[in-house]
Amino acid sequence: MPNLIWPRARTPDVGASGMIGRTVHWLGVVMAAAFLVIALGFAADGWSTSDAVWLTVIAVVMAMGARGVRYLLARE
């Protein structure tokens, strides 16, 4: 199961592009979490269910895209 969550071991020396990839990844994860919290607020208050669904979709795409950037730049 750990290989499904984190496919490769982290390497300590990834260079400048790897550090940029890691930074972009974690910024994307934080932004995706913020989008999910906003979507949860929209859904719980009943303001706009369609906006909540779209925010959730955007958050998932953002998290996957950030992970993809990490794969490309840090090779992890």
What mean pLDDT do residues 24-31 have? 89
pTM above 0.85, yes or no: no
φ/ψ of 14, rounded to 5, equals: -100, -10
Q: What is the mean pLDDT of residues 35-53?
A: 87
Mean pLDDT of 6-10: 60
23 — alpha (psi -120 to 50), left (phi > 0) or beta? alpha
Residue 1: pLDDT band with limits 50, 70, 90: very low
